[in-house]
């Protein structure tokens, strides 16, 4: 363990530069630049709120906050895992020329997407305030689901970055998987709708939904600790996924150069 900590300290400057590069490349040739991070979720929220309010007959004034919380967390998970998955092949030229701990590439992808995600929370704060969803002391507990979300995204990203080197069609399969994950996260609908059809077990085994649920509880100013399952299950799953992801990566990283 000490060897990995020393390695991280030695190359932390590179991690910082990779994160900066990722943010710059994301908004390259974009006139709005980082402002688009604020405008995109706002416009999506407006469209989705109108569509699903009409579809489900929602009259809750704060329904856009419900949609925005789910959309922001899912979007980070989606973008973070996709960029991490491509990170090794995208940096193949550098990997062949100089030695750098290879885990730096997927890690930097998750970090720069997380920074962009944190910036986008400004939109959530503004929308919540306008619609009357005010912060409370319970809002501070949002750090728990945010920490869980980061671990989950990094763990899945490490696994995908390893597998994508050897199985390039994984990118297309993961797009399909992300669509299925999105519909099982209750981003646009009330979870009670699944309870009526006895399919709510889908939500109970989805760690991303549990993370979104606890984050929503924090945003709405209610205690997430009344149902510990939704905290413990995603957190344990995220830790296990992270350990498995780093194990897979470490076991196969010496073979990457033969396939990139």
Structure tokens at 66: 């419900």
Range 228-233 contact pairs with CB under 8 angstroms and sequence separation of 24 or more: 229/204, 231/144, 231/145, 231/148, 233/204, 233/207
Task: Please determine, for residue 1, whether its predicted confidence score (pLDDT) is greater than 70.
Answer: no
- How far is Cα 243 from Cα 81, in angstroms, rounded to an integer? 16
Poorest-pLDDT segment among 51-55, 189-193, 216-220, 241-245? 51-55
Task: Please determine, for residue 228, whether its predicted confidence score (pLDDT) is greater than 80.
Answer: yes
| Mean pLDDT in residue range 175-180 | 95
Please give the residue that has the higher pLDDT: either 3 or 35.
Answer: 35
Structure tokens at 179: 């669509």
Task: Please determine, for residue 37, whether its predicted confidence score (pLDDT) is greater than 80.
Answer: no
Please give the residue that has the higher pLDDT: either 244 or 59.
Answer: 244
Torsional class of 60: left (φ above 0), alpha (ψ -120 to 50), beta (otherwise):
beta
Q: What is the pLDDT of residue 41?
A: 79
Task: Please determine, for residue 203, whether its predicted confidence score (pLDDT) is greater than 70.
Answer: yes
Number of domains in the chain: 1
> Nearest-CA neighbor of 125 among 14, 41, 211, 235?
41
- 3-state class of 33 per DSSP? helix
Task: Please determine, for residue 88, whether its predicted confidence score (pLDDT) is greater than 90.
Answer: yes
Identify the domain containing residue 43 by its residue range. 2-258
DSSP summary character for residue 168 = T
- How far is Cα 131 from Cα 65, in angstroms, rounded to an integer? 8
| Mean pLDDT in residue range 144-160 | 97
Poorest-pLDDT segment among 16-20, 160-164, 199-203? 199-203
Structure tokens at 196: 């009526």
Q: How confident is the model at residue 65 (pLDDT cuts 50, 70, 90)?
A: very high
* Residue owning tokens 């100013």: 221
Instruction: Note the pLDDT tens digit of each residue in 92-132.
Output: 888 888 888 899 999 999 999 999 999 999 999 999 999 98
Structure tokens at 97: 């020329």
- How far is Cα 22 from Cα 15, in angstroms, rounded to an integer? 10
Task: Please determine, for residue 59, whether its predicted confidence score (pLDDT) is greater than 70.
Answer: no
Q: Kindly tell me the sign of the dihedral angle through the C-alpha atoms of 170, 171, 175, 181.
A: positive
Mean pLDDT of all residues in the chain? 88
């Amino acid at each position: 363990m000490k060897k990995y900590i020393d390695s991280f300290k030695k190359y932390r400057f590179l991690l910082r530069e990779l994160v900066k590069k990722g943010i710059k490349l994301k908004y390259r040739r974009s006139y709005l630049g980082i402002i688009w991070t604020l405008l995109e979720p706002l416009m999506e929220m407006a469209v989705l709120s109108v569509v699903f309010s009409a579809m489900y007959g929602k009259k809750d004034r704060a329904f856009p906050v419900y949609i925005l919380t789910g959309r922001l967390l899912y979007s980070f998970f989606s973008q973070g895992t996709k960029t991490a998955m491509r990170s090794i092949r995208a940096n193949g030229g550098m990997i062949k020329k100089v030695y750098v701990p290879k885990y730096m590439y997927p890690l930097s992808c998750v970090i720069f997407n997380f920074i962009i995600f944190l910036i986008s929370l400004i939109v959530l704060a503004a929308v919540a305030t306008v619609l009357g969803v005010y912060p409370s002391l319970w809002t501070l507990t949002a750090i728990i689901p945010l920490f869980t979300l980061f671990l989950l995204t990094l763990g899945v990203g490490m696994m995908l970055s390893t597998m994508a080197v050897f199985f390039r069609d994984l990118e297309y399969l993961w797009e399909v998987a992300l669509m299925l994950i999105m519909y099982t996260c209750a981003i646009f609908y009330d979870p009670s709708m699944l309870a009526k059809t006895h399919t709510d077990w889908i939500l109970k085994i989805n760690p991303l939904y549990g993370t979104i649920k606890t984050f929503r509880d924090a945003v709405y100013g209610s205690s997430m600790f009344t149902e510990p399952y939704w905290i413990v299950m995603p957190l344990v799953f995220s830790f296990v996924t992270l350990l498995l992801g780093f194990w897979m990566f470490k076991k196969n990283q010496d073979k990457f150069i033969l396939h990139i």
